[in-house]
């Protein structure tokens, strides 16, 4: 699933492959815990978290991986060294299997995002 037509995050999670659902549900809970002041929405066909109308974080189930979208350049730059060894796309962190999700890294990225506003792409 690259893009969903689901109208809610619950609907999205009901559509993802079984092997990704538990991991995505965990990412959702981590986002809800760490991203204080954010609103959970569906944007770009995936679960997203916005503040002041700007999407700053999103995640998605892809065919071969799970993606965490980091929409702020300042966060990617601040974590450049830590992200250097990770599988990165242009604006996303890819986990090639649910067991490869680095929850500590994700928690740190979310905490840094939550710490203050920034400009999203």
Distance CA 79, CA 105 (A): 10
Residue indicated by tokens 């916005």: 50
- Each residue's pLDDT tens digit, 4-39: 888 999 999 999 999 999 999 999 999 999 999 999
- Each residue's pLDDT tens digit, 67-87: 999 999 999 999 999 999 899
Q: What percent of the chain is predicted at pLDDT more than 70?
A: 98
* Size of the chain in residues: 121
Q: How is residue 62 annotated by DSSP?
A: -
Mean model confidence pLDDT for the chain: 92
Distance CA 40, CA 48 (A): 6
Give the predicted TM-score (pTM) of the model.
Answer: 0.92
Q: Which domains does the chain have, with CATH numbers?
A: 9-114 (3.90.1150.200)
Instruction: Give yes or no for residue 1 having a pLDDT over 60.
Output: no
The pLDDT of residue 118 is: 78
């Amino acid at each position: 699933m690259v893009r969903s037509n689901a109208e809610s995050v619950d609907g999205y999670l009901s559509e993802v492959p079984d092997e990704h659902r538990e991991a995505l549900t965990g990412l959702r809970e981590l986002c809800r815990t760490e991203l204080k002041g954010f609103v959970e929405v569906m944007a770009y066909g995936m679960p997203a978290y916005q503040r002041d109308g700007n999407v700053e974080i999103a995640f998605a189930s892809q065919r071969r991986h799970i993606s965490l979208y980091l929409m702020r350049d300042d966060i990617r730059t601040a974590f450049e060294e830590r992200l250097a060894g990770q599988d990165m796309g242009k604006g996303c962190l890819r986990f090639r299997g649910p067991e490869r999700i680095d929850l500590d890294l994700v928690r740190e990225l979310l905490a840094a995002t939550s710490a203050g506003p920034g400009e999203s792409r």
